[in-house]
Structure 1
Amino acid sequence: MSSTPPTSLIAPRTWTRDNRSEFFISTDPALLSVAAVKAAFEQDFVYWSQKSFPEDVLWQMLHGSMSFGVYRWTESPAPEKTDSRSPRPENTEQIGLARMVTDGATFAYLSDVYVLPEYQGNGLGRWLIDCVAEIFSKENMPYLRRIILLTDDQRMQDFYQKIIGAKVVGHEERKDMDRTLVFMCARPNATP
């Protein structure tokens, strides 16, 4: 056994709906856009974020976690090359994110889940959490003890319960945000 743990035990992965879709999801850190995340965090719909993170802090936050980016192709390849397009920062635009703060084996904290408002309604949020659930499943992480998250929206509580089996385990009144957050926990490997 090595004395230094690897930085990531999970290889980057990319999901596509079909080869004609304008959207894809990837955990490839090379695709992450600090500028796109900064712009999203400065919008009101990302109510939980501190609005003034410096770019180096955002970079560390994105690369110190397992980040699932939601992307839109910005250039279309020629029809005969549809199967061969390769995602690169210069031919994609980041339009969403989910971060898993994790040790890659036993624990994960789901944070910063969003899809830009202009792209909502395309099933991208559900698809994003399905991709997260796939990676953090019993089959892929047999020793995962729990996934935790925070939300304030009853609709999202129902959503996370349905997709990852999360249950409300506590509450926190946040006067600074004028909200009450609920702590949710999923135990993917718990015996029923």
Structure 2
Amino acid sequence: MASTPPTTAIPPRTWTRADSEFFISNDPSLLSVKAVNEAFGREFLYWGKPFPEEVMHQILHGSMSFGVYRQTQPKPEDGPFSPTAESTEQIGLARMVTDGSTFGYLSDVYVLPEYQGHGLGKWLMNCVVEVFSKENMPYLRRIMLLTGDKRVQDFYSKIFGMKVIGHEQRPDIGQDLVFMCARPNAPE
């Protein structure tokens, strides 16, 4: 499938940690439709189900997607780190549905359970916050999300400054969800 350009003028970026096999990138060429569909088929992603490949491709490339990756080949000892889809395994995702200027809806955030406990989720959200900052998106009016986990609500309140603004009953998934919203560029 052909690669789709990002939905914003902000160029793709890759975040690395020294001496770590993990990295985060919003480069659409690294996204793995297969890996995300496999994750959506697992029980821990109660809200998701796998999609046909062409639909998942559109979902991932029609948004600004941040992938969490594990390197499957060692970094070169001399020269810059240049990840490719062939040299990585996608182990997490955060997808921001956005117009690239004024609005973002955070969706499909996960790190595979076998890779949790390495601080990857918090690092992933810090990367999203960096891209959706006043410096990068001075006209950003609103970031929103849905969640059912109280612990996660507290986390998003701290990292994005989000507040609960509404509720949605979801008997189909066995829980109620809350709508959360932040207005990062609102006057204080």
TM-score range, shorter chain: over 0.9
Query: Which letter maps to 2:14?
Result: T
Match of 2:183 among 162, 187, 191: 187
Residue 7 of structure 1: how far off its partner (Å): 4.5
2:9 maps to 9
Residues 8, 101 of structure 2: 8 Å contact kept = no
Q: Does 1:154 align with 2:150?
A: yes
Q: Matched residue of 1:144: which SS?
A: coil
Q: Does 1:167 align with 2:166?
A: no
Task: Count matched residues.
Answer: 183
Which residues of 2 match residues 1-192 of structure 1 at below 5 A? 7-18=7-18, 20-49=19-48, 51-77=49-75, 80-81=77-78, 83-192=79-188
- Give me the identity figure in percent: 69
Give me the whole-angstrom Cα distance separating, in 2, the residues matched to 1:8 and 1:185: 21
Q: Matched residue of 2:54: which SS?
A: helix
Give me the whole-angstrom Cα distance separating, in 2, the residues matched to 1:101 and 1:58: 14
Provide the TM-score with structure 1 as the length reference. Answer: 0.92
**Once superposed, what is the RMSD of the aligned Cα atoms?**
1.2
Runs of 4+ aligned structure 1 residues displaced above 6 Å come to: none
- The verdict on how the C-alpha distance between 1:163 and 1:7 changes in structure 2, with shifts beyond 3 A counting, is closer
Query: Which letter maps to 2:129?
Result: A
Provide the TM-score with structure 2 as the length reference. Answer: 0.94
Of 98-107 and 135-144, deviating more is: 135-144
Give me the whole-angstrom Cα distance separating, in 2, the residues matched to 1:142 and 1:181: 29
Q: Matched residue of 2:121: which SS?
A: helix
2:3 maps to none
- The verdict on how the C-alpha distance between 1:9 and 1:77 changes in structure 2, with shifts beyond 3 A counting, is closer
- The runs of 5 or more residues in structure 2 that have no matched partner are 1-5
For 1:11-44, what per-residue CA distance to the aligned partner results, in whole angstroms no more than 9, with x for missing partners? 10111122x2100000000000000000000001
